[in-house]
Amino acid sequence: MSKNLDMHLLLQNSRAYAEGFLSEGEVSSYIPQLAAQNPTLLAVSIISPDGAYHNTGNHEEFFSIQSISKVISLIYALMTLGEKAVFNKVGMEPSGDPFNCFIKLETAGEKPFNPFINAGAITTTSLLANNITFDELLGFTCKIFGDNVAPCETVFAEEVAAGKRNRSMAYLMQSKGVLGDDVEKYLDYYFRLCAVLVNTKHLAHMGAVLASGGKSPTNGQEIVPPRIVSIVKAIMLTCGMYDGSGEFAVSIGLPAKSGIGGGIVACGGGYGIGTFGPALDAKGNSVGGIRILRHLSEKLELNLFA
Ligand code: GLU
Protein backbone atom coordinates (compact mmCIF):
# COMPACT_ATOMS: atom_id res chain seq x y z
CA MET A 1 0.00 0.00 0.00
CA SER A 2 1.38 3.44 -0.91
CA LYS A 3 2.14 6.06 1.70
CA ASN A 4 -0.75 8.19 0.36
CA LEU A 5 -3.24 5.37 0.74
CA ASP A 6 -1.97 4.74 4.28
CA MET A 7 -2.64 8.36 5.17
CA HIS A 8 -6.10 8.25 3.66
CA LEU A 9 -6.89 5.11 5.61
CA LEU A 10 -5.57 6.70 8.79
CA LEU A 11 -7.90 9.68 8.32
CA GLN A 12 -10.85 7.39 7.67
CA ASN A 13 -10.05 5.38 10.78
CA SER A 14 -9.72 8.51 12.89
CA ARG A 15 -13.10 9.73 11.64
CA ALA A 16 -14.77 6.35 12.25
CA TYR A 17 -13.39 6.30 15.81
CA ALA A 18 -14.55 9.89 16.47
CA GLU A 19 -18.05 9.35 15.07
CA GLY A 20 -18.91 7.16 18.03
CA PHE A 21 -18.60 10.16 20.37
CA LEU A 22 -20.65 12.76 18.47
CA SER A 23 -23.82 12.17 20.49
CA GLU A 24 -21.95 13.53 23.54
CA GLY A 25 -21.95 17.03 22.01
CA GLU A 26 -24.38 19.73 20.95
CA VAL A 27 -24.23 22.48 18.34
CA SER A 28 -23.79 26.04 19.57
CA SER A 29 -27.08 27.90 19.79
CA TYR A 30 -26.30 31.57 20.46
CA ILE A 31 -26.90 32.51 16.81
CA PRO A 32 -29.35 30.87 14.35
CA GLN A 33 -26.67 30.04 11.74
CA LEU A 34 -24.79 27.89 14.26
CA ALA A 35 -27.93 26.44 15.83
CA ALA A 36 -28.95 25.17 12.38
CA GLN A 37 -25.74 23.15 11.90
CA ASN A 38 -25.98 19.38 11.46
CA PRO A 39 -24.26 17.77 14.50
CA THR A 40 -23.38 14.61 12.56
CA LEU A 41 -21.03 16.38 10.14
CA LEU A 42 -17.41 15.38 10.62
CA ALA A 43 -14.33 16.06 8.50
CA VAL A 44 -10.57 16.13 8.64
CA SER A 45 -7.92 17.43 6.25
CA ILE A 46 -4.18 17.10 6.66
CA ILE A 47 -1.17 18.45 4.82
CA SER A 48 1.91 16.27 5.22
CA PRO A 49 5.42 17.69 5.51
CA ASP A 50 5.90 16.91 1.78
CA GLY A 51 2.94 19.16 0.93
CA ALA A 52 0.47 16.36 0.07
CA TYR A 53 -3.20 17.01 0.98
CA HIS A 54 -5.52 14.30 2.31
CA ASN A 55 -9.15 14.70 3.32
CA THR A 56 -11.99 12.63 4.56
CA GLY A 57 -15.62 13.20 5.54
CA ASN A 58 -17.43 16.49 4.88
CA HIS A 59 -14.27 18.39 4.01
CA GLU A 60 -15.97 20.66 1.48
CA GLU A 61 -18.54 21.84 4.03
CA PHE A 62 -18.13 25.53 4.92
CA PHE A 63 -18.44 26.85 8.48
CA SER A 64 -17.52 30.09 10.28
CA ILE A 65 -14.05 30.25 11.82
CA GLN A 66 -15.29 32.02 14.98
CA SER A 67 -12.47 31.95 17.57
CA ILE A 68 -9.90 30.62 15.12
CA SER A 69 -9.92 34.25 13.93
CA LYS A 70 -8.15 35.10 17.20
CA VAL A 71 -4.98 33.40 15.97
CA ILE A 72 -5.06 35.44 12.78
CA SER A 73 -5.57 38.77 14.51
CA LEU A 74 -2.79 37.96 16.98
CA ILE A 75 -0.38 37.02 14.18
CA TYR A 76 -1.16 40.08 12.13
CA ALA A 77 -1.01 42.43 15.12
CA LEU A 78 2.43 41.01 15.97
CA MET A 79 3.55 41.34 12.36
CA THR A 80 2.35 44.90 11.86
CA LEU A 81 2.81 46.43 15.34
CA GLY A 82 5.46 44.30 17.05
CA GLU A 83 5.59 42.26 20.25
CA LYS A 84 5.94 45.21 22.59
CA ALA A 85 2.87 47.06 21.37
CA VAL A 86 0.74 43.91 21.50
CA PHE A 87 1.84 42.49 24.85
CA ASN A 88 1.65 45.92 26.41
CA LYS A 89 -2.12 45.61 26.00
CA VAL A 90 -2.76 41.87 26.34
CA GLY A 91 -1.14 39.16 28.47
CA MET A 92 0.05 35.66 27.57
CA GLU A 93 -1.27 33.66 30.52
CA PRO A 94 -4.06 31.05 30.51
CA SER A 95 -7.11 32.43 32.30
CA GLY A 96 -8.77 29.13 33.21
CA ASP A 97 -12.10 30.87 32.56
CA PRO A 98 -14.59 30.40 29.71
CA PHE A 99 -13.80 32.38 26.54
CA ASN A 100 -16.41 35.07 27.10
CA CYS A 101 -15.74 35.61 30.80
CA PHE A 102 -14.40 39.01 31.78
CA ILE A 103 -14.50 38.87 35.55
CA LYS A 104 -10.67 39.09 35.73
CA LEU A 105 -10.74 42.49 34.00
CA GLU A 106 -12.13 43.75 37.30
CA THR A 107 -10.31 41.52 39.79
CA ALA A 108 -6.83 40.91 38.35
CA GLY A 109 -5.66 44.08 36.61
CA GLU A 110 -6.67 45.88 33.46
CA LYS A 111 -5.07 43.73 30.75
CA PRO A 112 -6.99 40.77 29.32
CA PHE A 113 -5.16 37.57 30.31
CA ASN A 114 -4.42 36.36 26.77
CA PRO A 115 -5.28 37.03 23.11
CA PHE A 116 -7.57 33.98 22.80
CA ILE A 117 -10.25 34.93 25.29
CA ASN A 118 -12.77 37.34 23.79
CA ALA A 119 -11.51 40.34 25.76
CA GLY A 120 -7.96 39.69 24.51
CA ALA A 121 -9.01 39.13 20.91
CA ILE A 122 -11.10 42.30 20.87
CA THR A 123 -7.97 44.07 22.14
CA THR A 124 -5.65 42.73 19.41
CA THR A 125 -8.37 43.48 16.85
CA SER A 126 -8.64 47.06 18.16
CA LEU A 127 -4.90 47.56 17.64
CA LEU A 128 -5.31 46.38 14.05
CA ALA A 129 -8.45 48.45 13.45
CA ASN A 130 -6.61 51.58 14.57
CA ASN A 131 -3.99 50.99 11.90
CA ILE A 132 -5.28 49.00 8.92
CA THR A 133 -8.43 48.47 6.88
CA PHE A 134 -10.54 45.34 7.24
CA ASP A 135 -9.72 44.51 3.63
CA GLU A 136 -6.02 44.39 4.47
CA LEU A 137 -6.74 42.04 7.39
CA LEU A 138 -8.91 39.90 5.12
CA GLY A 139 -6.13 39.82 2.52
CA PHE A 140 -3.76 38.41 5.13
CA THR A 141 -6.45 35.94 6.24
CA CYS A 142 -6.67 34.67 2.65
CA LYS A 143 -2.91 34.06 2.64
CA ILE A 144 -3.15 32.09 5.89
CA PHE A 145 -5.95 29.92 4.47
CA GLY A 146 -4.35 29.68 1.01
CA ASP A 147 -7.55 30.77 -0.75
CA ASN A 148 -9.98 33.64 -1.33
CA VAL A 149 -12.11 33.31 1.78
CA ALA A 150 -14.69 35.88 2.92
CA PRO A 151 -17.06 36.62 5.80
CA CYS A 152 -20.67 35.43 5.65
CA GLU A 153 -22.91 38.51 5.92
CA THR A 154 -25.67 36.55 7.70
CA VAL A 155 -23.32 35.18 10.37
CA PHE A 156 -21.84 38.66 10.76
CA ALA A 157 -25.29 40.26 11.25
CA GLU A 158 -26.27 37.58 13.76
CA GLU A 159 -23.01 38.06 15.68
CA VAL A 160 -23.66 41.80 15.88
CA ALA A 161 -27.22 41.19 17.09
CA ALA A 162 -26.13 38.63 19.71
CA GLY A 163 -22.97 40.47 20.75
CA LYS A 164 -24.13 42.23 23.91
CA ARG A 165 -21.61 40.53 26.14
CA ASN A 166 -18.72 41.30 23.78
CA ARG A 167 -19.96 44.88 23.52
CA SER A 168 -20.05 45.16 27.35
CA MET A 169 -16.50 43.92 27.79
CA ALA A 170 -15.26 46.18 25.00
CA TYR A 171 -16.78 49.28 26.62
CA LEU A 172 -15.43 48.20 30.02
CA MET A 173 -11.93 47.92 28.50
CA GLN A 174 -12.37 51.26 26.78
CA SER A 175 -13.25 52.85 30.14
CA LYS A 176 -10.00 51.47 31.55
CA GLY A 177 -7.91 52.78 28.67
CA VAL A 178 -7.09 49.30 27.26
CA LEU A 179 -9.07 50.04 24.07
CA GLY A 180 -9.13 53.28 22.11
CA ASP A 181 -12.30 55.25 21.41
CA ASP A 182 -13.62 53.53 18.28
CA VAL A 183 -15.27 50.61 20.08
CA GLU A 184 -17.98 49.92 17.51
CA LYS A 185 -15.36 49.76 14.75
CA TYR A 186 -13.26 47.28 16.78
CA LEU A 187 -16.31 45.09 17.33
CA ASP A 188 -17.18 45.29 13.65
CA TYR A 189 -13.73 43.96 12.69
CA TYR A 190 -13.93 41.28 15.41
CA PHE A 191 -17.38 39.99 14.39
CA ARG A 192 -16.53 40.15 10.67
CA LEU A 193 -13.40 38.05 11.11
CA CYS A 194 -15.32 35.50 13.25
CA ALA A 195 -17.80 35.20 10.33
CA VAL A 196 -15.20 34.15 7.71
CA LEU A 197 -16.26 30.87 6.09
CA VAL A 198 -13.76 28.06 5.52
CA ASN A 199 -13.58 24.29 5.16
CA THR A 200 -11.12 21.84 6.73
CA LYS A 201 -8.74 22.15 3.78
CA HIS A 202 -8.31 25.84 4.60
CA LEU A 203 -7.64 25.00 8.26
CA ALA A 204 -5.08 22.36 7.25
CA HIS A 205 -3.34 25.03 5.15
CA MET A 206 -3.22 27.34 8.17
CA GLY A 207 -1.89 24.47 10.30
CA ALA A 208 0.78 23.72 7.71
CA VAL A 209 1.92 27.37 7.70
CA LEU A 210 2.35 27.17 11.48
CA ALA A 211 3.90 23.67 11.35
CA SER A 212 6.60 24.81 8.91
CA GLY A 213 7.67 27.89 10.85
CA GLY A 214 5.57 30.26 8.73
CA LYS A 215 5.93 29.06 5.13
CA SER A 216 3.28 28.42 2.49
CA PRO A 217 2.89 24.66 1.93
CA THR A 218 2.35 25.27 -1.77
CA ASN A 219 5.24 27.55 -2.75
CA GLY A 220 7.49 27.72 0.33
CA GLN A 221 7.22 31.51 0.58
CA GLU A 222 7.27 33.04 4.04
CA ILE A 223 3.81 34.12 5.21
CA VAL A 224 4.63 34.60 8.91
CA PRO A 225 8.09 35.23 10.43
CA PRO A 226 9.38 32.22 12.45
CA ARG A 227 9.65 34.17 15.72
CA ILE A 228 5.95 35.07 15.53
CA VAL A 229 5.01 31.48 14.69
CA SER A 230 6.79 30.28 17.82
CA ILE A 231 5.02 32.86 20.04
CA VAL A 232 1.63 32.01 18.59
CA LYS A 233 2.11 28.23 18.84
CA ALA A 234 3.09 28.57 22.52
CA ILE A 235 -0.10 30.55 23.21
CA MET A 236 -2.16 28.03 21.20
CA LEU A 237 -0.77 25.21 23.34
CA THR A 238 -1.57 26.95 26.63
CA CYS A 239 -4.78 28.84 25.72
CA GLY A 240 -6.07 27.55 22.37
CA MET A 241 -8.79 25.15 23.53
CA TYR A 242 -10.70 27.46 25.88
CA ASP A 243 -10.70 26.27 29.50
CA GLY A 244 -9.98 22.75 28.19
CA SER A 245 -6.45 23.72 27.05
CA GLY A 246 -4.62 21.94 29.89
CA GLU A 247 -6.41 18.65 29.33
CA PHE A 248 -5.89 18.91 25.55
CA ALA A 249 -2.14 19.51 26.07
CA VAL A 250 -1.93 16.50 28.38
CA SER A 251 -3.90 14.11 26.18
CA ILE A 252 -2.98 15.28 22.66
CA GLY A 253 0.06 17.53 23.11
CA LEU A 254 -0.30 19.81 20.08
CA PRO A 255 -0.71 23.56 19.56
CA ALA A 256 -4.34 23.96 18.45
CA LYS A 257 -7.15 26.51 18.32
CA SER A 258 -10.82 25.76 18.22
CA GLY A 259 -13.84 27.83 17.26
CA ILE A 260 -17.44 27.54 18.33
CA GLY A 261 -18.42 26.94 14.70
CA GLY A 262 -16.93 23.44 15.11
CA GLY A 263 -13.50 23.92 13.54
CA ILE A 264 -10.10 23.11 15.05
CA VAL A 265 -6.70 23.95 13.54
CA ALA A 266 -3.71 22.01 14.86
CA CYS A 267 -0.08 21.56 13.90
CA GLY A 268 2.85 19.36 14.80
CA GLY A 269 5.64 17.25 13.33
CA GLY A 270 5.46 19.27 10.11
CA TYR A 271 1.75 18.37 9.63
CA GLY A 272 -1.06 20.89 9.33
CA ILE A 273 -4.43 19.53 10.43
CA GLY A 274 -7.95 20.95 10.15
CA THR A 275 -11.01 19.28 11.64
CA PHE A 276 -14.70 20.13 11.59
CA GLY A 277 -17.50 18.73 13.72
CA PRO A 278 -20.17 21.13 15.01
CA ALA A 279 -21.18 18.95 17.98
CA LEU A 280 -19.40 20.71 20.86
CA ASP A 281 -18.54 19.71 24.42
CA ALA A 282 -19.46 21.88 27.42
CA LYS A 283 -16.33 24.02 26.95
CA GLY A 284 -17.09 24.81 23.30
CA ASN A 285 -14.63 22.39 21.67
CA SER A 286 -15.64 20.03 18.87
CA VAL A 287 -16.19 16.55 20.33
CA GLY A 288 -15.42 14.82 17.03
CA GLY A 289 -12.47 17.10 16.23
CA ILE A 290 -10.81 16.36 19.56
CA ARG A 291 -11.24 12.60 19.05
CA ILE A 292 -9.81 12.78 15.54
CA LEU A 293 -6.82 14.75 16.80
CA ARG A 294 -6.28 12.30 19.64
CA HIS A 295 -6.19 9.43 17.12
CA LEU A 296 -3.87 11.24 14.70
CA SER A 297 -1.54 12.48 17.42
CA GLU A 298 -1.13 8.93 18.69
CA LYS A 299 -0.76 7.19 15.33
CA LEU A 300 1.56 9.80 13.78
CA GLU A 301 3.42 10.23 17.10
CA LEU A 302 2.86 13.96 17.15
CA ASN A 303 2.45 14.56 20.91
CA LEU A 304 5.14 17.10 21.81
CA PHE A 305 5.56 15.60 25.25
CA ALA A 306 5.36 11.88 24.54
N1 GLU B 1 -18.10 35.03 17.77
C2 GLU B 1 -17.95 34.34 18.99
C3 GLU B 1 -18.00 35.27 20.17
O4 GLU B 1 -17.23 36.16 20.26
C5 GLU B 1 -16.70 33.54 18.97
C6 GLU B 1 -16.84 32.48 19.95
C7 GLU B 1 -15.85 31.36 19.82
O8 GLU B 1 -15.64 30.76 18.77
O9 GLU B 1 -15.28 31.06 20.87
O10 GLU B 1 -18.82 35.15 21.03
Residues 125-159 pLDDT 10s: 999 999 999 999 999 999 999 999 999 999 999 99
Query: In sequence order, which residues have a C-beta less than 8 Å from that of residue 33 and are 6 or more positions away?
Result: 64, 152, 154, 155, 158
Task: State the distance from the centre of ligand 1 to the C-alpha of 1, rounded, in angstroms.
Answer: 42
Q: Lowest-pLDDT range, 73-77, 165-169, 192-196?
A: 165-169
Q: Is the CB of 125 under 6 A from ligand 1?
A: no
Mean local confidence (pLDDT), 9-38: 97
Residues 263-286 pLDDT 10s: 999 999 999 999 999 999 999 999
| Listed residue (263, 268, 266, 258) closest to 301, CA to CA | 268
Counting atoms of ligand 1 from 1, which one is nearest the CA of 195? Answer: 1
CA atoms within 13 A on the CB side of 71: 37
Please provide the average confidence, as pLDDT, over all residues in the chain: 94
Task: State the distance from the centre of ligand 1 to the C-alpha of 166, rounded, in angstroms.
Answer: 9
Give the whole-number percent of the chain exceeding pLDDT 90. 92
Q: Lowest-pLDDT range, 104-113, 170-179, 235-244, 270-279?
A: 104-113
Task: State the distance from the centre of ligand 1 to the C-alpha of 29, rounded, in angstroms.
Answer: 12
Q: Is the CB of 262 under 6 A from ligand 1?
A: no
pLDDT confidence of residue 95: 75
Residues 66-106 pLDDT 10s: 999 999 999 999 999 999 999 999 999 887 776 676 666 66
| pLDDT-based confidence at residue 111 (cuts at 50, 70, 90) | confident
Mean local confidence (pLDDT), 9-33: 97
Counting atoms of ligand 1 from 1, which one is nearest the CA of 242? Answer: 9
Q: Is the CB of 99 under 6 A from ligand 1?
A: yes
User: Over 50: is that where the pLDDT of 1 sits?
Assistant: no
Counting atoms of ligand 1 from 1, which one is nearest the CA of 66? Answer: 8
Q: Is the CB of 259 under 6 A from ligand 1?
A: yes
Q: Is the CB of 158 under 6 A from ligand 1?
A: no
Counting atoms of ligand 1 from 1, which one is nearest the CA of 30? Answer: 10
Report the SS3 class of residue 293: helix
User: Over 90: is that where the pLDDT of 31 sits?
Assistant: yes
Q: Is the CB of 255 under 6 A from ligand 1?
A: no
